[in-house]
Amino acid sequence: MKQLMISIGLVLLSAAMQSQVKLRKELSPLPPMGWMTWNLYGERIDEALIRKVADAMESTGMAAAGYRYLIIDDGWQGGRDKKNNIIADPVKFPSGIKALADYVHAKGLKLGIYSDAAPLTCAGYTASLNFEEQDARTFASWGIDYLKYDYCNAPEDSNTAKQRYTTMANALTKSGRDIVFGICEWGGRKPWFWASNAGGSVWRTTGDIRDKWKAKPGTDGEGIMDIVAVNGSLDAYAGSGRWNDPDMLVIGLYGAKGPSSDLGGIGCNDTEYQSQMSLWSMMAAPLIATNDITTMNEATKRILLNPEVIAINQDAAAIQAKRIRRDAQWEIFLKPLDGGDYALAVLNVTETEQPYNFSTEDLGLAAGFVIRDCWEHRLTGKKNKWSGKIAAHETKLFRLIKK
């Protein structure tokens, strides 16, 4: 009898755990969109900055375009109080994180925060190892909606990583608040195989992006194309509620001094930034801007706020594009969309303008589409065959609309 009770208990417990995991997968059915402090501001953050950015999210149309999560990265922490509760730096955040969350929520935005699966974060601040439940409760009580959880100062092996991430995900679930969990171990332990089961909605697949197109051979610091090289092959692992995260958008940074300007991060041109937006949208990646949105120029706004491109990222079919061609001249991605449309991205990887020629037949698709150029905001007037020119490093984005 006692044994029977124990096994019934175990079955119930595992059913409860499974439904928790299911719930976690429902937290971000589409790729999260937002803005994060790190790439430009690094540790130079405070509550005035977050309020200013929240205001600008509203006034620039970023919020209306879907950029909802405002995420405070590393550098907010002020240690622990006498009861071991994690606290914000009282100089940077004198009103506290709860007040900030209230401010952000009042605008219909969501607030994210950062910690790490070790005693200290990457930048050396207080982190959450062995305080997972207590910190999750604190984050929930502040009104936090997203946790980026880093892996600096933690053991290399995969089992420890899986276990530490699962512990924090369970703690977040137990907190009773819906908090999206972003796993950030830089791809070293192939998180695309396990991060969703560990409770993550998104997982970084690479090291930190630098504000550059591509690393010179033999040098450090990954640019846009170095990251696409890895993340572009991982489409099989993404789907609704589980997203490959190729790190933040560098769009509009133009080499500004900050964490993504080191290791050759001299900045990109607008054609290259347009390519990042196109490729991240095709890869169903989180769209997390990092530029100073209070002073964005028109080119940056045009790129970050393009509704046709955002619609491809946020498409309800929730499918990451497949890379269908990769050679010395082109990278081509195809993304099935809800309702039978397709998105097609064509990137010229060479250093000179190139002519292109396409037919739906080449793409393995039946006829019956009209072709829309999502950057020029016009129907090409073509049906199943079309051609044109693409500048060096430019990505053209077409929507193949089913007739």
259 or 267, CB closer to ligand GLA? 259
128 or 395, CB closer to ligand GLA? 128
Would you say 303 and 295 are in contact if contact means Cβ atoms under 8 Å apart?
A: no
**Structure-block tokens of residue 296:** 């964005």
Minimum CB–partner distance for residue 235 and ligand GLA (Å): 22
**Structure-block tokens of residue 134:** 């207590």
258 or 267, CB closer to ligand GLA? 258
What are the DSSP calls for 75-142, one per residue?
A: S-EEEE-TT--EEE-TTT-TT-HHHHHHHHHHTT-EEEEEEESSSB-TTS-B--TT-HHHHHHHHHHH
Minimum CB–partner distance for residue 71 and ligand GLA (Å): 10
Residue with tokens 């706004």: 301
Minimum CB–partner distance for residue 144 and ligand GLA (Å): 16
Helix axes 97-106, 47-59, angle to 10 degrees: 10
Judged by the rule CB under 6 A, the positions of this chain that interact with ligand GLA are 38, 73-74, 121-123, 150, 184, 186, 208
Minimum CB–partner distance for residue 290 and ligand GLA (Å): 10
38 or 165, CB closer to ligand GLA? 38
- For the annotated catalytic residues, the residue numbers are 150, 208
Q: How far apart are CA 265 and CA 313, in angstroms?
A: 26
Sign of CA dihedral 279, 285, 290, 292: positive
Cβ burial, residue 229 (10 Å; 0-12/13-18/19+): middle
Minimum CB–partner distance for residue 227 and ligand GLA (Å): 12
245 or 341, CB closer to ligand GLA? 245
